[in-house]
């Protein structure tokens, strides 16, 4: 059985959707009997110097692995790169060219909403992205929507492998209450395009029994904290920083709605995570996210990126009679690891 070398951001960081997706994918590949080796190319917890050495170490790992395989007359490992924007794209471009020179197949998995902007431009980033696509033996995208985006630029060897979720605990039947305190939950890297500021403004428009918990961190956090105090609703909003998997699961179970009206998401792993725990979600008019969540119950779309639209969607979600168990079952049926393993087996690694 060939070995698969998986190059990605640090899977152990638990900071952002890519690290979670990489962990789940690696676990599923191992379940299918494939040999995998995770090689970290970057960590969000490191500074530039440490990450430079980390990337050099990743390159050396590729060289030493191929040297050992050539010396012992073993088949070449398949290289699986998880591609993000900017620095991630450059790192994976370098690794791809080295891997192909050393005789490996390369599968490239694309995770960033920024790629749509790259493809619509005419600059360096478009050329770099299409160079990866052209050299890759398989180009893996997250949904039919992304398949169409890449196809429009004549990218071939495309396959769809969506994000997926672990099995959720048995969700007890529980209808939404119309009279109790309502807890809204937001989780993301705190940057402007995630639009958490609109959720805060929406809380100011909602009755006082609505409160908000915000998980995550990032450069926009201080602005969000200032906004909550300027609106005089600081007592209704709690910033809790990054949370681990167990804490996140508890928050999904105990929240009435997940609200992340991001205009910059390629799929929205947090949405299917929330739905798998029976927690309804409020999204913005993001076509990539809408495509991923198409036909799933418990999804409430704000038609515009405004506080009023988001507040209205939150009200609709919290007054719905949908039972959480229904939301969880529908999401698990479409996006469980068991469902996606069939995709991996039949369309990605059938030749391994």
State how far the Cα of 183 lies from the Cα of 236, in Å rounded to an integer.
10
Phi and psi (nearest 5°) for 104? -95, 150
Query: Counting beta carbons within 10 angstroms of the beta carbon of residue 280, is it exposed (0 to 12), middle (13 to 18) or buried (19 or more)?
Result: buried
Nearest one of 265, 196, 218, 221 to 17, comparing CA atoms? 265
Chain-centre distance for alpha carbon 237: 25
Q: Which residues pair with 211 in a beta bridge?
A: 183
Residue 329 confidence (pLDDT):
93
Taken in order of first residue, the domains within the chain and their CATH numbers are 3-164+337-348 (3.40.50.2000), 182-334 (3.40.50.2000)
The answer to whether 211 and 237 have CB atoms below 8 angstroms apart is: yes
The answer to whether 118 and 90 have CB atoms below 8 angstroms apart is: no
**Residues listed for the chain:** 352
Which residues of the chain fall short of a pLDDT of 50? Answer: 174-177
Residue 174 confidence (pLDDT):
46
pTM, entire model? 0.90
Residue 175 confidence (pLDDT):
45
Residue 280 confidence (pLDDT):
97
Calculate the alpha carbon distances from 153 to 73, 94, 294, 323, 341 in Å.
Answer: 38, 22, 24, 42, 28
Residue 21 confidence (pLDDT):
79
Element (H, E) at 168: none
Query: Dihedral through CA 128, CA 129, CA 135, CA 137, nearest 10?
Result: 160
């Amino acid at each position: 059985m060939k070995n698969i070398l998986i190059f990605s951001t640090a899977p152990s960081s638990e900071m952002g959707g890519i690290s979670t997706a990489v962990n789940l994918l690696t676990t599923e590949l191992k379940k299918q009997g494939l040999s995998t080796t995770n090689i970290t190319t970057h960590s969000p917890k490191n500074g530039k110097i440490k990450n430079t050495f980390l990337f050099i170490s990743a390159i050396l790992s590729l060289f030493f692995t191929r040297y050992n395989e050539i010396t012992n007359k073993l088949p070449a490992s398949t290289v699986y790169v998880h591609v993000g924007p900017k620095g991630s794209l450059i790192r994976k471009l370098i690794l791809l060219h080295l891997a192909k020179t050393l005789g490996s197949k390369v599968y490239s998995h694309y995770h960033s909403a920024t790629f749509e902007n790259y493809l619509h431009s005419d600059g360096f980033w478009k050329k770099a992205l299409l160079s990866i696509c052209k050299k890759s033996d398989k180009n893996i995208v997250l949904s039919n929507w992304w398949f169409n985006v890449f196809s429009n630029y004549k990218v071939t060897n495309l396959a769809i492998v969506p994000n997926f979720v672990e099995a959720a605990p048995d969700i007890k039947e529980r209808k939404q209450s119309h009279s109790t305190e309502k807890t809204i939950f937001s989780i993301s890297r705190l940057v402007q395009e995630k639009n958490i500021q609109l959720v805060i403004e929406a809380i100011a428009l909602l009755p006082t029994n609505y409160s908000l918990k915000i998980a995550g961190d990032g450069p926009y956090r201080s602005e969000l904290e200032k906004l909550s105090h300027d609106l005089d609703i600081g007592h209704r909003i709690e910033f809790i920083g990054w949370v681990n998997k167990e804490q996140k699961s508890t928050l999904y179970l105990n929240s009435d709605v997940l609200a992340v009206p991001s205009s910059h998401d390629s799929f929205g792993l947090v949405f299917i995570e929330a739905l798998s725990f029976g927690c309804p979600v409020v999204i913005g008019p993001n076509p990539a996210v809408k495509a991923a969540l198409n036909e799933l119950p418990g999804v409430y779309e704000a038609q515009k990126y405004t506080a009023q639209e988001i507040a209205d969607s939150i009200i609709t979600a919290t007054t719905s009679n949908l039972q959480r168990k229904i939301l969880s079952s529908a999401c698990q049926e479409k996006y469980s690891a068991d469902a996606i393993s069939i995709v991996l087996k039949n369309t990605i690694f059938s030749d391994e």
